């Protein structure tokens, strides 16, 4: 399938690499893999070549994890978000407007500043929404603020006003919650812990009443919904059984109501056809979008799997590009599923 649109495609900057102080964003994965990832987080020509080779017309870029959410100094976080958004726009989007768009970084250490930066990024730079790396460190790296907490209300009001989606991206659990992974470091990250942390964060949003206050708000989850299409029915059943108990949140509707109306999912890093088909069966083909998770995953593997998947013609068009065109207003000319790629100016 030519002219796919991909949504969880990461970059870094020299400034953000300095803040990481040499710590790799792919730590624990082997030096060869780390070097491959680090090089491609900064490189434009290699990314464009990979996109061309894999039939990806447009990539919506975002800062890699933990992004500005991991910066404890508030002023530095606010400044880093602004500088990152300017860098992506000037380095990727302005020179290649047909190939790149981006999600804004926002520093929720200061929700008012995050609101202002989202407004600026959308209205002045053309950002397609925001990508947030899970919780935000407040005060030190042991403390966190989650997106459902009341301090973030100004930000959600701005999201609703701008009518743009928020991509909820994973990050590792807080250090004091990592004991269960002792001795199994391979699980502490994308292999397992990312999904558990992010799916729980998403459920907090569902239970918080956020979508009752802002019913049109849309949240995007990668990795085919961080397992929620499969675990949410049981969660809903148990919450019903426990309805006389405590800690049920302020939501007016069951969790499935919000998941099917306020969430979209992408295929990033999860290249398994039966799981894709089951996800579509649970939430519908209008709420699933193609992504790769580049450069942590191979575009060739992602595109090769998707192009060969036995989805119906209509579902493949929706997932491959049509849903992203609708959600983000990315306009590409009509095209067949197979045939020569086109360039649109």
| Cα separations in angstroms, 181 against 79, 146, 192 | 34, 22, 10
List alpha helices for 164-227, DSSP H.
193-208, 210-213, 223-226
Q: Enumerate the β-bridge partners of residue 56.
A: 4
DSSP letters for 33-47: HHHHHHHHHH-SHHH
Name the residues annotated as catalytic.
293
94 Cβ contact list (under 8 Å, min separation 6):
none
Q: Measured between alpha carbons, how far is 43 from 211 in angstroms, rounded to an integer?
A: 38
Structure tokens at 262: 């306020």
Q: Measured between alpha carbons, how far is 169 from 222 in angstroms, rounded to an integer?
A: 7
User: Cα–chain-centroid distance for residue 250?
Assistant: 25
The number of beta carbons lying within 10 Å of the beta carbon of residue 43 is 14
Q: Within 13 Å, how many C-alpha atoms sit on residue 223's CB side?
A: 19
């Amino acid at each position: 399938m030519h002219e796919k649109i991909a949504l969880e495609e990461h970059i870094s900057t020299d400034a953000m690499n300095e803040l990481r102080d040499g710590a790799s964003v792919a730590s624990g994965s082997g030096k060869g893999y780390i070097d491959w990832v680090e090089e491609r987080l900064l490189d434009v020509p290699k990314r464009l070549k990979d996109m061309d080779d894999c039939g990806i017309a447009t990539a919506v870029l975002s800062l890699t994890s933990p992004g500005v959410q991991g910066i404890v100094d508030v002023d530095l976080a606010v400044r880093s978000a602004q500088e990152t958004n300017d860098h992506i726009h000037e380095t990727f989007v302005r020179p290649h407007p047909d190939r790149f768009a981006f999600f804004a970084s926002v520093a929720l250490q200061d929700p008012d500043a995050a609101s202002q930066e989202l407004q600026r990024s959308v209205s002045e730079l053309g950002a397609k929404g925001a990508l947030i790396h899970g919780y935000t460190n407040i005060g030190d790296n042991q403390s966190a603020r989650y997106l459902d907490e009341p301090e973030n209300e100004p930000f959600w009001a701005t999201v609703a006003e701008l009518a743009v989606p928020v991509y909820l991206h994973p990050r590792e659990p807080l250090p004091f919650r990592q004991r269960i992974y002792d001795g199994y470091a391979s699980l502490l990250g994308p292999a397992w812990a990312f999904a558990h942390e992010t799916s729980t964060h998403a459920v907090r949003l569902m239970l918080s009443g956020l979508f009752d206050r802002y019913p049109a708000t849309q949240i995007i989850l990668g990795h085919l919904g961080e397992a929620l299409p499969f675990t949410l029915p049981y969660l809903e059943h148990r919450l019903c059984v426990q309805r006389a108990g405590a800690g049920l949140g302020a939501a007016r509707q069951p969790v499935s109501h919000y998941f099917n109306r306020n969430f979209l999912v992408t295929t990033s890093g999860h290249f398994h056809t039966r799981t894709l088909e089951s996800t579509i069966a649970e939430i519908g083909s209008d709420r699933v979008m193609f992504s790769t998770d580049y450069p942590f995953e191979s575009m060739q593997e992602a595109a090769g799997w998707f192009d060969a998947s036995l989805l119906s013609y209509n579902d493949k068009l929706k997932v491959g590009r049509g849903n992203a065109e609708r959600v983000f207003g990315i306009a590409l000319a009509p095209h067949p599923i197979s045939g020569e790629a086109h360039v649109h100016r």
